[in-house]
Amino acid sequence: MGTASTIRKRPDLSFREPLTESPPREWSPDIDQAWFRGSFAMDEVVFFHAPSGTAIVADLIQTFSDRFLREHWGWWRFLARLDGLTQEQACAPLEWRLSFINHAPARRAREKVLNWKCQRVVVAHGEWARANGHAFLERSFRWLGT
C-alpha cells in the first residue's frame, strides 16, 4: 500500500490500493494513520503503532545529530541548520514546508497525530525520538501554524 502520489510515481511497483485518512480495516486497532496533504509536491502518511506508542514518519520530520552532520555533510552541515534538519529543530526540509500551499488538510492530520498517546517517534531520516514523542511531534509540526 502507498499514497496515490506514490502509486502514480512508481508504476513499476504493484499496490493493492492507495492509503487514505483511515488505516485498512485489518490493521485496526493496532495501527492508525494520518494523511498529510496540501502540498503541490508531496504527501505522506504518518503511522502510529498504538501498542508500543510509536509514530513512524518518513520525510516530514528529519533530525540529524551534530555528529552525523560532521561525519557525512562536512562543511555543508550549515545547510542542515538553515533547513531545520538538526536535532534541535527536527522538522521537514524547507522545500517541503514551502510546498504546502494549503495548510488545512495538513493541520487536520497534525491534530490527529497530536491526539495519539505517542511515546517515541521513528523517523526515516535522522535520530529517533526515544522518549517524549508527543512533545517531539508537537515541536516538529510547529511550522504548520495554527
- Listing DSSP states for 20-86 in one string gives -SS--GGGTTTEEEEEE--BSS--EEEEEETTTTEEEEEEEEEEB-HHHHHHHHGGGHHHHHHHT-B
Angle between helices 103-114 and 133-140 (to 10 degrees): 170
Q: What is the pLDDT of residue 16?
A: 82
In a domain, 122, yes or no: yes
For residue 76, what pLDDT is reported? 83
**pLDDT reading at 82 higher than 80:** no
Q: Provide mean pLDDT across the span 29-42.
A: 93
Predicted pLDDT of residue 39: 94
Residue 64 lies in a domain: yes
Is residue 30 scored above 90 in pLDDT? yes
Task: Look at the chain and report how many structural domains it folds into.
Answer: 1
Give the strand pairing for 44-49 and 54-63.
antiparallel
At 57, the pLDDT band (50, 70, 90 cuts) reads very high
The answer to the question of residue 12 being in a domain is no
pLDDT at 9 over 90: no
| 94 falls within a domain | yes
Domain span at residue 56 reads: 30-144
Q: Is residue 5 part of a domain?
A: no
25 assigned to some structural domain: no
Q: Is 3 inside any structural domain?
A: no
In a domain, 58, yes or no: yes
- The contacts of residue 20 (CB under 8 Å, 6+ apart) are 35
